[in-house]
Amino acid sequence: MENIKNTSGLELEKIKEIWAGLALTAAARAKIEEAGPILAERQLQAALRETTESRQLLEKFGTPPLVSLEGMEQILLVAEKGDMLGPEQLEQAESALAAVKRMQDYLSRGQQYQIPLAFYGENLQPLEEIRQQIHQQIRGGQVEDHATRELFDLRSQIQRTQEKRKEKAESVLRTHRDCMSDSFCVTRGGHLCVPVKKEYKFRVSGSVIDKSATGNTLFIEPTAVQKYEEELSLLQIQEDNELRRILYTLTAMIGDQLEAFRENSRIMERLDYAFSKGKLSMEWDCAAPVVGTDRRIRLTAARHPLMDRRAAVPLDFTLGEELRGVVITGPNTGGKTVALKTVALCCMLAQWGLHVPCQEAWVCMNSQYLCDIGDGQSLSENLSTFSAHITNVLDILSRVNPESLVIMDELGSGTDPTEGMGIAIAILEALRESGCLFLVTTHYPEVKEYAARTQGVTNARMTFDQDSLQPLYRMVIGEAGASCAFAIAERLGMSRAMLDVARQAAYGNAPAAQSPLVQTSGGPRIQRDRPAPRQKDLSGKFRLGDSVMLYPDRKIGIVCEPVNDRGCLRVQLPDRKIWISHKRVKLHVAADRLYPEGYDFSIIFDTVENRKKRHDMERKYTGDMTIEYGE
């Protein structure tokens, strides 16, 4: 489907599989397989009304008596060519007409409630005369004895003749008892025979029809029986002619109503498709959405259709009008991706003409659903996850228009965080400028800041209980979320010292912890000779006044305190001073290239007030004057 792009992560095939399982006919299942967003507003409204009406009928009258009429087309082709239908085929036609009649009766009950779908029953044609004729003349795969008077008389004569033939054969058996190898008559090749010992074959008048495997017994049709055999053959020919006449007559009746049969099949298939939508609505406890062309989405208590209703936390979501994009943030396993998929699926289901798993839904029609969800790594094309992600994103940006809905999970992930963040913001800006509606998830703080300051874009967070370490799976629109990594780590037992180091590495706003990061007193130890450790001297790596670049943020700062014995140095940034590991710092411009020899760095690092106090103290003693240094 051209208006759906890369939706494998949404499990649409699984949804269609469940939906198709509620249909009975191959035609309905094929239509479900081909289902996609309906782009014509009038057609979509009609499809939604059909779903609503089918559910109303299901709720009032239960499951409809639908059956598949797929085998009827072969039967109709035989009748159309003028060939004769067999009893089994005629019974199948009768069953189809009986099903049509039951469906018509079912729908007629809905007409009293003025349910429009129920009036399809007026177009069904049960063809009662044909059904009654087949019912009276065919039963159990055979033509009934009473199908016609002629057939009844012929079969009665055949039965009497068979009885006379048997009596005559048994008379011969009794008369020549000593010549017989058995005491009963047998049928061989359609002839009633007596079993005669081979040494007495001339004692019994008749024709040898067969012999036993040993050759000791001959099966002879007595001459007295043969005249009845000839009479039976003539009667059976007459019976066959009468049977063929009956079957051809019934076939001709069907041939005269070919279009009625085919119209019945089309209507039953249409009803099967309609009721499959109603069944799905009931199974998922859905609501009929309001659908329009205004660019807004509002879902109340929405659920992912493939999740257990008892476990799923309902989602409230709003997008559109002035708000064009939502950036969802929060901890891993917090439900961001599920929320993303829930919104996308609810919109898609509505535009397929289906009800939506929620309490209320207002959904806009979208010309395209453009998605980037999940690991897009391509082994066949030798693409990394990030390369596949960007390839897909670029394709989305080449297609997007103001009527598109764009869904992206973990925007800008799979590469260097700094560069990934920049790419993520660039993508969001391109989406915003396109005028589409978009919903994305991310972990980047800078993307949250972008959403907070950009018109038409807002943050949303997934709530998380820091006491129980459990996600609450609820979305709060208008607020940015945190990853909660430190809270989770602390709750799970990470030491305060390690957390301090983690915070310093992440934010650069605290000196390194002085206490041991890991307690290593427990457990056995191997005792071995070790050379005295040599402490690498880092004090000369950076000098006061050096211009340095901080990674991964690529910020420029000035060294205000050299590397200490823990490998950290202090750097002056435009707005604050921070402690940072020397491993995250690279020399940008050496101090001797920036300042003359003997330069007073207090001009850079001290406040104006401190410099004035120092000047006064150097000139004279002032007992009550102190100089304070900020952290």
Mark whether 323 and 213 lie in a shared domain: no
Residue 17 lies in a domain: no
Q: Is residue 628 predicted with pLDDT exceeding 80?
A: no
Mark whether 273 and 184 lie in a shared domain: no
State percent of the chain over pLDDT 70. Answer: 87
For position 336, what pLDDT does the model report?
86
Residue 542 lies in a domain: no
Report whether 197 contacts 217 (CB < 8 A): yes
Greatest pairwise CA separation for the chain in angstroms: 163
Q: What is the pLDDT of residues 402-458, one digit of tens each?
A: 999 999 998 877 777 788 889 999 999 999 999 999 999 988 888 888 999 999 999
Q: Is residue 519 predicted with pLDDT exceeding 70?
A: no
Report whether 412 contacts 423 (CB < 8 A): yes
Residue that terminates a domain, selected from 442, 460, 488: 488
Q: Is residue 615 predicted with pLDDT exceeding 90?
A: no
- Note the residue count of the chain: 631
**Which range, 68-72, 144-148, 558-562, is most confident?**
144-148
Which CATH number goes with the domain that contains 464?
3.40.50.300
Q: Is residue 496 predicted with pLDDT exceeding 60?
A: yes
For position 123, what pLDDT does the model report?
96
Alpha-helical runs (H) found in 21-71 = 26-33, 41-61
Residue that terminates a domain, selected from 468, 488, 508: 488
Mark whether 355 and 319 lie in a shared domain: yes
Amino acid residing at 327 = V
For position 220, what pLDDT does the model report?
82
Mark whether 576 and 442 lie in a shared domain: no
For position 381, what pLDDT does the model report?
42
Residue 570 lies in a domain: yes
- What strands lie across the sheet with 186-188, from one edge to the other? 186-188, 191-197, 217-222, 206-211
Report the pLDDT averaged over residues 510-517.
50
Report whether 117 contacts 50 (CB < 8 A): yes
Residue 435 lies in a domain: yes
**Which range, 3-7, 413-417, 545-549, 593-597, is most confident?**
545-549
For position 416, what pLDDT does the model report?
79
Residue 577 lies in a domain: yes
β-bridge mates for residue 290, sequence order = 362
Report the pLDDT averaged over residues 241-250.
96
Higher pLDDT, 390 or 246: 246
For position 552, what pLDDT does the model report?
78
* Confidence band, pLDDT 50/70/90 cuts, at residue 382: very low
Write the DSSP assignment of 491-539 as a string of letters.
Answer: HTT--HHHHHHHHHHHH--SPPP-S-SS---SS-------PPP-----T
Higher pLDDT, 137 or 554: 137
Lowest mean pLDDT among 48-52, 218-222, 320-324, 371-375: 371-375
Mark whether 200 and 87 lie in a shared domain: no
For position 622, what pLDDT does the model report?
58
Both tokens of 410, joined, read: 């973990």
Q: Is residue 534 predicted with pLDDT exceeding 80?
A: no
* Confidence band, pLDDT 50/70/90 cuts, at residue 90: very high
Please give the Cα distance from 404 to 470 (Å, whole number): 35
Mark whether 361 and 454 lie in a shared domain: yes
Q: For the chain, how big is the Rg over CA atoms in Å? A: 45
Amino acid residing at 216 = N
In the chain, how many domains are there? 4
For position 513, what pLDDT does the model report?
46
Lowest mean pLDDT among 141-145, 265-269, 419-423, 603-607: 603-607
Residue 494 lies in a domain: no
CB atoms within 10 A of CB 408: 25
Side-chain-side CA neighbours of 302 within 13 Å: the count stands at 29
Report whether 299 contacts 361 (CB < 8 A): yes
Residue 578 lies in a domain: yes
For position 608, what pLDDT does the model report?
64
Mark whether 262 and 297 lie in a shared domain: no
Average pLDDT over all residues of the chain: 86
- Measured in degrees and rounded to the nearest 5, phi and psi for residue 150 equal -60, -45
CB atoms within 10 A of CB 43: 11
Please give the Cα distance from 569 to 593 (Å, whole number): 20
Mark whether 84 and 166 lie in a shared domain: no
Q: What is the pLDDT of residues 498-511, one digit of tens each?
A: 878 877 877 665 45
Q: What is the pLDDT of residues 551-585, one digit of tens each?
A: 877 888 898 888 888 888 888 888 888 888 888 88
Side-chain-side CA neighbours of 288 within 13 Å: the count stands at 14
**Which range, 434-443, 525-534, 598-607, is most confident?**
434-443
Tracing tokens 């159309």 back to the chain, one arrives at 80
Higher pLDDT, 346 or 516: 346
Mark whether 607 and 560 lie in a shared domain: yes
Mark whether 294 and 262 lie in a shared domain: no
Mark whether 102 and 176 lie in a shared domain: no
Residue 176 lies in a domain: yes
The interaxial angle of helices 385-399 and 417-434, nearest 10 deg, is 10
Q: Name residues whose C-beta falls within 8 Å of residue 359's C-beta, 6 or more positions apart in sequence.
A: 287, 300, 301, 314
Mark whether 376 and 475 lie in a shared domain: yes
Domain span including residue 156:
147-229
* Confidence band, pLDDT 50/70/90 cuts, at residue 168: confident
